[in-house]
Structure 1
């Protein structure tokens, strides 16, 4: 299937669609997503650090993500039985944990390419994706705001 996005037309294999049954906060109606890397003009991966979670339901919505372990941050997550059931987890090793990236100054974007100093990682609400079932959710870590919040990161690009 083809999805028109702000990055252009994206070819999506239906077998690679990730379902977030409850959507994401602010995007509850968007339940179908595709995870992808930005590519350069030659079609090569432009960054292995930043991934994009692209809504299939609304081509205008794309959320930058990163692997928190690239920056030395490892989660010790505890899921409720209902959360584990929702994700269909049989093996904890099947769960991909990603964090959203946000702009320090949203007006700074525009036409220029963003640099690593323009972004923060939101470590208090990781996105969990079962790589086998392709079902995901965002888990807000309640009570961890003082330890885990928005943290400036240096992206290697």
Structure 2
């Protein structure tokens, strides 16, 4: 299938690349289907809606910035994502770029089951992480 993207123009993708967020992503609850795209020569990725080219979020892997980053999924989150092993889990954090500052939301990571492509943004409780933690690139 072909989709229009915010940063990459029109691209071709396979159904197997589509990540499903059953409840959408907070702020974009109506968007349920996304694709993860690499940004060449960077450690950034984009999660792009397949239906709305303007819905595209920049992502990073938290361990590129916080070596001891930890998350704990609830039983409900594990069930919803259909996880059976920690090897199935990919974790990303949304990045915001402002005039002279880049921040990452380490408090609400995006979790993806790489086996079935189910995704969910969770909110960590009792966490030491910030919603707008400055990062250096």
For normalisation by structure 2, the TM-score amounts to 0.91
1:46 alignment counterpart? 41
User: Mind listing any 5+ residue stretches in structure 1 that lack a counterpart?
Assistant: 39-44, 109-116
Instruction: Using the TM superposition, give the Cα deviation of residue 77 of structure 1 relative to its aligned residue in structure 2, in angstroms.
Output: 2.4
CA RMSD of aligned residues (A): 1.4
Cα distance between partner residues in 2 of 1:74 and 1:53? 24
Per the alignment, residue 36 of structure 2 pairs with: 35
Q: Which runs of 5+ in 2 are unaligned?
A: none
Q: 1:26–1:53: structure 2 CA closer, same or farther, 3 Å change rule?
A: same
Deviations 1:103-152 (A, max 9, x none): 2x3xx4xxxxxxxx5311110000000011110100111332xx211211
1:6 has 2:1 as partner: no
- After TM superposition, the structure 1 = structure 2 runs for residues 1-157 of structure 1, keeping only pairs within 5 Å, are 1-7=1-7, 8-38=9-39, 45-47=40-42, 49-103=43-97, 105=98, 108=99, 118-144=101-127, 147-149=128-130, 150-155=132-137
Q: Distance in 2 between matches of 1:54 and 1:11?
A: 13
Instruction: Return the offset for 1:46.
Output: 3.0
Q: Is the 8 Å Cα contact of residues 68 and 74 (structure 1) preserved in structure 2? A: no
User: In the TM superposition, what is the alpha-carbon distance from 1:26 to its structure 2 partner?
Assistant: 0.9
